[in-house]
Amino acid sequence: MTAAGRLIAIEGIDGCGKSTQARVLAEALGAVLTHEPGATALGRSLRGLLLDPDGDAPSERAEALLMAADRAQHVAGVIRPALRAGRWVVTDRYSASTLAYQGYGRGLPLEDLRRLVAWATEELTPDLQVLVDVDPAVARGRAGTAPDRLERLDASFHDRVRQGYLALADAEPDRWAVVDGAGAVEVVASAVRGAVERRLGAPAGQGVRGDEAAAGS
């Protein structure tokens, strides 16, 4: 085993519960918790431009480019430094959000978007992507009271995004774990944690096995 960090991306449609799951997982792993869009100072400005329902709506390509700019800043300023320091990082959304929303949702060509995210991230890909999968009808019931620009899009948009995520996971099963997000928070959290431990093990000094080993020695 090396001391290198690991990058885990939690993905899913709006209202699937992934932000809660990302927080619980990061706590359990002792990982750095971060999110997109908007984890850096520049990113917070971009997030306002992207999601404010009262602002000037970006074109589809402008939306993709602004998401990519947010991600480039996030990788350079937050994710790579943490990984270099040997930390595990849990990010609430990453490149697959662009493929699912701007690709499957908006209809921009997937191959263009793959090149865009590869360039923006200098090809930093997650060690594991966890899809918290729920039916859009369930997710709508969980949505907050002040929907942003993308949350206001119609049900068919969110159906396409969900199907897009499932297609991405299906095409690369070794890079994805799909977890049913319909259950209680603790049930979903334990499924997410189980998937991560099966694929990546646990960070040094973390996790049930590590704790037991420490207690028993």
- Cα–Cα distances (Å) from 117 to 2, 111, 143, in that order, read 27, 10, 28
| Of the candidate residues 151, 160, 176, 189, the single one contacting ligand TYD (CB under 6 A) | 151
Closer by beta carbon to ligand TYD, 14 or else 133:
14
- Cα–Cα distances (Å) from 47 to 5, 41, 63, 70, 103, in that order, read 27, 10, 10, 8, 19
Stretch that binds ligand TYD, among 54-62, 76-84, 122-130, 148-156 (CB under 6 A): 148-156
CB of 33 to ligand TYD, least distance (A): 13
Rounded Cα distance between 81 and 120, Å, is 16
| Of the candidate residues 6, 7, 9, 14, the single one contacting ligand TYD (CB under 6 A) | 14
Closer by beta carbon to ligand TYD, 2 or else 54:
54
Q: Quick check: 176 and 169 in contact, CB under 8 A?
A: yes
Residue 98 binds to ligand TYD (criterion: CB under 6 A): yes
Residue 42 binds to ligand TYD (criterion: CB under 6 A): no
State which amino acid sits at residue 26: A
Q: What DSSP line would sit under 135-198, residue for residue?
A: -HHHHHHH--SS--TTTTS-HHHHHHHHHHHHHHHHH-GGGEEEEE-SS-HHHHHHHHHHHHHH
Residue 67 binds to ligand TYD (criterion: CB under 6 A): yes
Closer by beta carbon to ligand TYD, 21 or else 97:
97
Residue 166 binds to ligand TYD (criterion: CB under 6 A): no
Q: Quick check: 92 and 8 in contact, CB under 8 A?
A: no
Residue 164 binds to ligand TYD (criterion: CB under 6 A): no
Stretch that binds ligand TYD, among 3-11, 96-104, 133-141, 179-187 (CB under 6 A): 96-104
Q: Which of 90, 110, 111, 112 is nearest to 100 (CA)?
A: 110
Residue 129 binds to ligand TYD (criterion: CB under 6 A): no
Judged by the rule CB under 6 A, the positions of this chain that interact with ligand TYD are 14, 19, 36-37, 51, 67, 93, 97-98, 101-102, 148, 150-151
